[in-house]
Amino acid sequence: MSHKFPSDAWTQSFGRVINASDDYKQRGKNWRAGAVSFIVTAAPEVGMTQDFGMFLDLHEGECRSARSCDLTEAEKAPFMIRAEYGWWKSVIRGNLEPVRGLITGKLKLKGDLTVIVRHIGAAKSLAECASHVETIFLDEA
């Protein structure tokens, strides 16, 4: 079933795709650095009037929970990645590799980049999982 991105339903579906992925189970098995939150910045042009937060509790190759969250909660995650709607769309479509996105300033990270780099395989696997979520993009709905 398709879900609008971003939404709570999309985030939950993302969590299910992660947990169904043998690739993530393998490549994310050493991730013990805590939760990751994603913020999609408000984009009135596609009908998003407020920032949208997603919270993923990732641990040793498993996604223990995935849901939307408010910004205060997102801030509490040890890793918070923020980007504009269009860049998230590029990541989900597989057109923007996440670390390249960080370095070129399209994605913004609060947290320690070296930890992300050490788990680059897990990060790439997560991006692949996102591309497998059946997604309806707001600007295409």
Partner 1 sequence: METEAQTQYSFRMPVKLVFGVGAGGDVSAEMAELGRRRAFVVTDSSIASSGSAFDKLIKGLGPRLAGVFKEVTQDSGFEIIDKAANMAADAEADCVVSVGGGSVIDTGKGICVALKNGGSIRDHMGVNILAEPQTPHIVLPTTSGTGSEVTNVAVIYDSVEKRKKNLLDHHIYPNTAVLDPEFLVGLPQAVTAATGMDAVTHAIEALHSMMKNPVSDALALQTLGLMNQWLPVAWAEPANIAARGHTLVASNLAGAAFSNAMVGLCHAIAHGLGGVARVPHGLANSIALPHVMRFNLEVSPGLYDQAAKALGLSAGEDVAGWVEGMARRMELPMTLKDAGVAEDSLVEVAEAAMTDGAALYNPRPVFEPDEIMPLLRLIWAGN
- State the pairing for strand pair 107-110/135-137: unpaired
Helix (H) or strand (E) holding 101: helix 98-103
Classify 3 as helix, strand or coil. strand
Question: Using CB under 8 A, which residues numbered 84 to 113 contact partner 1?
Answer: 99-100, 102-105, 107-113
Query: Which residue, 10 or 52, has its beta carbon nearer to partner 1?
Result: 52
Query: Which residue, 17 or 102, has its beta carbon nearer to partner 1?
Result: 102
- The correct pick among 7, 121, 127, 131 for binding partner 1 (CB under 8 A) is 121
Report yes or no: 10 and 135 within 8 Å, Cβ to Cβ: yes
How many whole angstroms separate alpha carbon 57 and alpha carbon 91? Answer: 20
| Shortest distance, position 90 Cβ to partner 1, whole Å | 12
Q: Does 114 interact with partner 1 (rule: CB under 8 A)? A: yes
Contact positions vs partner 1 (CB under 8 A): 82, 99-100, 102-105, 107-114, 117-118, 120-121
